[in-house]
Chains A and B, each alone.
Chain A
């Protein structure tokens, strides 16, 4: 079921949302002379699935890294649930309930699937250096965690593999494991970086279902994706980036028909610089 009525006022890049979970202002980052990200204003609506799309090199993953504390922007402010995240290290961002996955799956290869899962849980006494030596201090919590891990593994159809090293899983299974692991921390916002990349078509369907389930359970999802089909299928809101800027946003169907977006993707004006589309380069009258 698609959610609607998320924005306030005219739909345009940087439009205000009824109930934003993330608000970013003037976030920019450049590598060398190249501007990777330059986001004027963005609000991500709460409780729905938002897709972040754009051509290769649009700065999607860099923007992800900036929001999650994995990289520091040159300038800008951004908030999560009303609290500023500027200067907050990545692990604290995660502790606040904003958990991410990676484009190149980071399953911890030489830990078993179950250990991978347990690692995701928050507030473990046994992770304290001194408490860890005394099992009676952390065994009860460990049992709780294990129960939840098994439950999630069941749901993600990985239960049979729980004692295997994560290294032995297929690409798609690793994506599932990474998502399930992220859920162990009971996040409020799940950020998925290309959840479908490298997943075989048979698993795609089930991954989509899992993402929709997250929304049902009240979580907010922000994901980066290339596959338009999938975006149209599950996203409630779509944000389009090109050359580090947000060039369009809106409901999926509207965005897909947006001329600027189609241009950015398909290059219908193949002889036109992408900079013209994003407004970076202003051409004299009548040339574009």
Chain B
């Protein structure tokens, strides 16, 4: 796996609970940082989408968490972790359209059950670790030398 090589950048972004109006700030900053490092536009685009979806999930469903951005010469990694309810059935949440979103999330234009499928589709490697009652950790990796995850 192309995860070798030194770390060019590592940043930790807290995602506060109950701050839905701020959700999206981290994605904007991640895009800005990646552009500053000269990352390929397609990588910036995909990382922005993955980050936004993950950030919205933390903001909508959990008691807060954090996002870690790690940039290496070959890959961009995004690590999401939260103190949330956890996911009981991970295969289920990967299915397009499956959603546990409350009405208020749907009224904001989210909760269509496409968040995790869209994160996975825009990543080259995608792993979810979760424990009910404790939280969820998602690791998304985007290769910098490939343009389409297929």
Same complex for A and B? Answer no
Binding site for B on A (CB under 8 A): none
Binding site for A on B (CB under 8 A): none
